[in-house]
A and B are shown apart, each in its own frame.
Chain A
């Protein structure tokens, strides 16, 4: 299954996002994003099935979680 990633500003936001997504029935994994994905050094994101993309965007918006970028495909190191 194709994986997508939502890049987030911090680990705190990644945990918040994962918990909000779980409440909405969306499974996700917290991933650490490497510098090639962020160009700013260490950052975090949540990885999920691309088929959940619409739900993920809705949850992030509802929870006011700032997403610094949506990345098609995985690529983060799974925690």
Chain B
């Protein structure tokens, strides 16, 4: 980054990364990065130990069953695909929310298009004054069918700072014998998560966003109640004489070499988040949100979408300026933001953004109020 760059695209990936993350990734590559579970030599074992430590830290942070139920994937999208395509069977019915990212919507759409499943969309009630967990669960209840097998929804929107009441939805699903999965792409490291207490059967999360690891690793956390068919098969150092994949997680779902440096970095990222604490992180993000919202609300041509929800993500549009052009103009002034549709046609339709989408700014632990002031000055320059 140049000295004049302000990074406000943390919902896409957090930047920069904590020094401890960079140090661990560097140490891993330089000192101990053998192939975990392949050889019987010290470097392979050192890698395997570090990966196990990351599984343990992730399970603790997410309130999961056990470290062996933490499966490492390439990213959140792969985790969700692994879940959906390993779980769903012909004739199943699935419910998703109207805020879903394409990481959920597209695999669901494909499975439905191929005639494997059917699905319906339930209202998140984002932006509605009478929104409540009871009403949201009632919306789910109205759409349940005898063959409804799974409810999967985002926890926090990737467009604004609205979050779904996943604890209440999880309890509702389990009362009705339905599995419940959560896309925690925008909430892991921001909002409290506890799989057991929230009745979450499966949870997908990125390593490189709110958990401050580097790109290249995502998480699928499973409860004991969710055995999946494999989607990817191949070598993993176990039972090499057999055609079948091993029965037990995590290796059952982890074919091919794991990204040990990314996972080692993720361990330090999770430790960073745990040390700071979610309340402190949330308070910091809300402070930045309020400062940005105050400025944007003072601009006559600016619309802030879902402004009532404070958090790590803020969405706005400007009359007469297409979102991608506005994002590019901010980029020329050193402000890193994202325009367009943010891979969520469902979410943009729900928020009723302009036809060309909107601009998203998103905050992280390294942002300061002066970053918001730089952003405000740059936008004022564009609007002048």
Contacts and interface: CB of A to CB of B under 8 A. Distances in A.
Interface in B32-86: 36-37, 40-42, 45, 48-49, 52, 55, 66-68
Contact of A40 (B36, B52, B242, B251): B242
Interface residues of A, number: 21
B242 A12 contact: no
B48 A11 contact: yes
A79 interface: yes
Contacts of A64: 66
Interface stretch (B20-28, B156-164, B232-240, B360-368): B232-240
A10 interface: yes
Contact of A12 (B41, B42, B45, B250): B250
Given A11-B36, A15-B52, A16-B67, A41 B248 contact: no
B246 interface: yes
Contacts, number: 61
Contacts of B45: 30, 79
Given A11-B48, A16-B52, A79-B40, A42 B238 contact: yes
Contacts of A44: 238
Nearest to B51: A12
B247 interface: yes
A77 interface: yes
A8 to B, nearest CB: 9
Give the interface SS of chain B, mostly helix, strand, loop or mixed: loop
Contacts of B49: 15
B384 interface: no
Interface string A26-68: 0000101001001111111000000000000000000010100
B239 A43 contact: yes
A35 B241 contact: yes
A42 B239 contact: yes
B229 to A, nearest CB: 18
Contacts of B48: 11-12, 15
A19 B37 CA distance: 17
B237 A11 contact: yes
Which residue of A11, A16, A42 has the most chain B CB atoms within 10 A of its CB atom? A11
A74 interface: no
A12 B246 contact: no
A31 to B, nearest CB: 8
Nearest to A65: B68
Interface of A: 9-13, 15-16, 30, 32, 35, 38-44, 64, 66, 77, 79
Given A9-B247, A38-B239, 15 more contacts: A10-B248, A10-B250, A11-B37, A11-B48, A12-B251, A13-B68, A15-B52, A39-B241, A41-B241, A42-B237, A42-B239, A43-B238, A43-B239, A44-B238, A77-B40
